[in-house]
Structure 1
């Protein structure tokens, strides 16, 4: 029997979604034994720090990628939204699995309250610039405060009264079975465009490990893979990072794919959006990015980065 080592972050959500992915893997390869290797990432070690200050989205995957390159694990399972658009030349995203809900959810302390009816100046917890910008665009009165920690920790902080509401990815709630027990409002993409790749899992391995690469490819969900390729091409064309308010969502529409991209100011006063359709995901992503540049997206990105530099200096 062949044995493979699989790397994952050690959080409850990460291990839960890894086990769900491995159940699919073992349905294809029942004779392959898998060993789960939990790896603590920089983002986990510095759980109270500002994400932009410790390296942005890549801080949740770098240690796993290091262990992959060193040959200590055979493949790693990530939330696709955590993976930068440019990865190490020795590695490859072998497959993207079927997407869960791509949307965000507003978790509200008081049942029966919604985004529209939260009290004036309500305190809403999120450390995401993307979520902050889009929330302030529809509710400029909100007091947006940072929040870090695992899902249970964030919900507990809200229940204790530190926040009136928090924003989480709906897919995370679903994977942990909390979508049936926690009062929440799903935020449609029209209100809040999700992060690039949100709701999808990606399996990463070494390019030279042809056997594992071919095994993982059997788990790919083509529609999801095409959609997220468009989203990642959009992000890569804009800047490649998530150090500014940026979101995108693509999905099949008839015989083609639709992609909407968003760039915003951190205070939510300016939200730029563009929607296009196309057959080739990379061309589609680049085309939406080009339209956004025409709208003034580069200026917004530079202003946001300059504001962050001043924040970190002071």
Structure 2
């Protein structure tokens, strides 16, 4: 087979996790040559802008999807949490790989400091509305300030004293080996429900590229695929974007799956949660979403979006 071109964002984390995924790919297909194509996305170009103002997490994948549809790359490797629930008709998520840690981590400068023991009114860096809402629910005194940039940049800003702590996905720390060198506290789902699909990598390609589709399908991890399908069905039933405080986590429980969904107000005063079990991931996700709608989820989502509109009128 000819050489395959694989698209990725150019950040250190994106290229590292892409290379880790390609190591698995080449264990199946050692004779296939792969070329890494680094693509700058809107989210990378506008690195200082508020995520919600430039389209939420989807801003990190649209350019890769354009290059896929144009035939300039054969498949793309994404963090699944960056992919909106609705993708272009010509494309498909061909494979979801085994999930790394789905949880978030609180990074601090000194060993021994924890979420509960950070000083009153501590400045905590995150641009995620999901993290902000859940942090303020536990510690309403926190001063939550936005932070963008790659992981190294964020850690440097914290070490320089701009923040008392920052929150990052634990999987990112692990993939870069930073979980061994940076003081951090893992935040369990009971405290901080993760983003939809957090910790999982997804491989996306064109539906008509059947040869590549069949190759990368070999890397699929079925339990992860079922879990993230439930999480994405939950999100898709509500709005499909991550431009409001929303989280979900699905895990296998014996012979079935358990999904917990969360929607909150940005100030953390209201956190709605629902947990259910089921065998069909799409039905499970939709059912949890329907239960949360009855609790008032749509009102919360609309209030959050209206607040954002007011914030982004210049």
Same fold (TM over 0.5): yes
Is 1:248 matched with 2:248?
Answer: yes
| Distance in structure 1 (CA, Å) of the matches to 2:74 and 2:130 | 33
Q: Do the aligned residues in 2 keep the contact of 1:84 with 1:241 (CA within 8 Å)?
A: yes
Determine the structure 2 residue equivalent to 1:64: 64
| Distance in structure 2 (CA, Å) of the matches to 1:305 and 1:74 | 36
Is 1:151 matched with 2:151?
Answer: yes
**Structure 1 residue 112, shift from structure 2 partner:** 1.3
Is 1:138 matched with 2:138?
Answer: yes
Structure 1 residues 107-116 or 9-18, which shifts more? 107-116
**Structure 1 residue 154, shift from structure 2 partner:** 0.1
| Distance in structure 1 (CA, Å) of the matches to 2:161 and 2:110 | 10
Q: How does 1:35-46 map to 2 (within 5 A)?
A: 35-46=35-46
Q: How does 1:36-185 map to 2 (within 5 A)?
A: 36-185=36-185
**Structure 1 residue 110, shift from structure 2 partner:** 2.3
| Distance in structure 1 (CA, Å) of the matches to 2:196 and 2:26 | 28
Q: Do the aligned residues in 2 keep the contact of 1:124 with 1:142 (CA within 8 Å)?
A: yes
**Structure 1 residue 10, shift from structure 2 partner:** 0.3
Is 1:188 matched with 2:184?
Answer: no
Question: Deviations along 1:193-227, whole A, 9 cap, x unmatched?
Answer: 00000000000000000000000100000000000
| Distance in structure 2 (CA, Å) of the matches to 1:110 and 1:19 | 32
Structure 1 residues 218-227 or 1-10, which shifts more? 1-10
| Distance in structure 1 (CA, Å) of the matches to 2:117 and 2:296 | 33
SS of corresponding position for 1:313: coil
| Distance in structure 2 (CA, Å) of the matches to 1:45 and 1:278 | 41
**Structure 1 residue 2, shift from structure 2 partner:** 2.7
Q: How does 1:230-245 map to 2 (within 5 A)?
A: 230-245=230-245
Determine the structure 1 residue equivalent to 2:222: 222
| Distance in structure 2 (CA, Å) of the matches to 1:112 and 1:232 | 36
Q: How does 1:24-43 map to 2 (within 5 A)?
A: 24-43=24-43
| Distance in structure 1 (CA, Å) of the matches to 2:113 and 2:74 | 46
| Distance in structure 2 (CA, Å) of the matches to 1:265 and 1:128 | 13
Runs of 4+ in 1 over 2 A off after TM superposition: none
SS of corresponding position for 1:227: helix
Determine the structure 1 residue equivalent to 2:282: 282
| Distance in structure 1 (CA, Å) of the matches to 2:294 and 2:43 | 35
Is 1:211 matched with 2:211?
Answer: yes
| Distance in structure 2 (CA, Å) of the matches to 1:206 and 1:243 | 27
SS of corresponding position for 2:94: strand
SS of corresponding position for 1:218: helix
**Structure 1 residue 109, shift from structure 2 partner:** 1.6
Determine the structure 1 residue equivalent to 2:6: 6
TM-score normalised by L of structure 2: 0.99
Determine the structure 1 residue equivalent to 2:272: 272
Q: Do the aligned residues in 2 keep the contact of 1:2 with 1:31 (CA within 8 Å)?
A: no
| Distance in structure 2 (CA, Å) of the matches to 1:2 and 1:23 | 18
| Distance in structure 2 (CA, Å) of the matches to 1:36 and 1:307 | 40
| Distance in structure 2 (CA, Å) of the matches to 1:89 and 1:141 | 45
| Distance in structure 2 (CA, Å) of the matches to 1:76 and 1:156 | 29
